[in-house]
Amino acid sequence: MTETTHTQTTPPGRTGRPRSPEFRLAADALRTLRKDLFHQAFAYRPLPRTAVNGPLTRRLPERMRGYAAWTPHAVVVAGGAVALLVGVTSTRPDESSLLGGLLALAPVLLTLARPVGAFWLSLAATAATAVVGSSWGSWPWLEGSFVSHLLVLTIVAIRTRPRTAAWMWLLTALYGFLAETAFGAGHYGTDTPAMLMLSALILLVVTVRHTRRQAEKEVTAQQTVTEHERSRRTLLEERTTIARELHDVVAHHMSVVAIQAEAAPYRVENPPPELEKAFATIRENAVAALTELRRVLGVVRAEDYAAPDAPQPTLADLDGLLANVREAGLEVEKVVTGAVRELPQGVELSAYRIVQEALSNTLRHAPGATARVEIGYVLGGLGLRVVNGAPPAPYLIKPSPGAGHGVTGMRERVSMLNGEMTAGPTADAGYEVAVFLPVPAVSEDEA
């Protein structure tokens, strides 16, 4: 046995020497900083209007809902007005106080269109306000700049990602440290710790909000995918069940074809060789089709599938089904209109299963209600209608343990026969399933 070792090497730098993990970590950090706060920092990114389909906005009049869509913009403008007022009134009223108020207002308003650029403007406006303003108890953020920068950090963090919020907080801390180190000698107090603590708390709340919303989006997306896969699996299971049930019907017809093809030459006196050969070919093809049909059934058969002991049911067995559901507590009435006639076996089986599933749904979802089964033999096919009334005590109904496959299975059976189906609640809080299964007319020659 030969042993081989694999050594993970660090990508070399320009000089050819390998770079350390610390160097790569720092390089990645600078790369993300450049991407979040430098690359297209002043790009135009307008604040979108809010949705008006919430629980409160839906109740507003149409005109008021149009105004409600601008609520985020109004909140930002109101915050800017507060920063302007604080900047003007925090110092003695003169030209510098008005300039300080405008410098506090501008970054907040800029967040409406260029959020990242508003952060850089807030730092610049803070420095400019510290130069033109005068305040001994607030340094390096004057009162107006303090409120403005907190608002800018909050709005930009909401509009961007948590990583951008972390970079903004670090740069804010760096600015406060440099301002105190280089220019803080003549000031008795500092508000850098207050700025960092308040901004950290606000950015933490915003980050938790971002994380929760992202988790909700991921859960919603996963639920959508899961629901789609569940629906697809349900559809495949129903189709497999229908294929298993129709196997006996198709096998019966193919067996009849094979037997008749084998017996037909004996019913004709002195049949020509060509006729005997044609019937032999028909029988061979019928037997081959039966063999392939058994293979197909083996593919769609589940591991726990057991072949039915009795023949597949037809409409003639419907009375036994109704007797069973009456014993289960469902009052059901059967009405037959038209001339009763024998239909193709696949149509009979599908009609029986549709009535069976509709009555099962009534037992699960409307216990205590009455049901009515209408069967109409018309010229072009068979009509079915299963309708139940409202349950006597709907508030006592527990969630159904069913898998919700009933309507899907009925639709698949109807679609297989090129029929039509409608299913939905009735005006009296009941439920109705109406189906039409077309049956081609058989001429006397074909009969």
Give the model's pLDDT for residue 115: 94
For the chain, which ranges sit under pLDDT 50?
1-10, 401-404, 443-447
Residues 6+ apart with CB under 8 A from 436: 381, 382, 383, 384, 419, 420, 421
Output the CATH code of domain 315-438: 3.30.565.10
- Residue 172: is it exposed, middle or buried by C-beta count within 10 angstroms (0-12/13-18/19+)? buried
For residue 106, the model assigns a pLDDT of 95
What is the pLDDT, as a whole number, of residue 372? 94
Peptide bond into 140 cis (omega under 30): yes
Q: Are 143 and 151 in contact (CB under 8 A)?
A: no
- List the chain domain ranges: 21-190, 235-300, 315-438
What pLDDT does 24 receive?
Answer: 84
Provide long-range contacts, Cβ within 8 A and 24+ apart, for 124-132. Answer: 126/175, 127/179, 128/103, 129/87, 129/99, 129/100, 129/103, 129/104, 130/179, 130/183, 132/96, 132/99, 132/100
* Residues 6 or more apart in contact with residue 305 via CB below 8 angstroms: 244
| Residue 2 pLDDT | 44
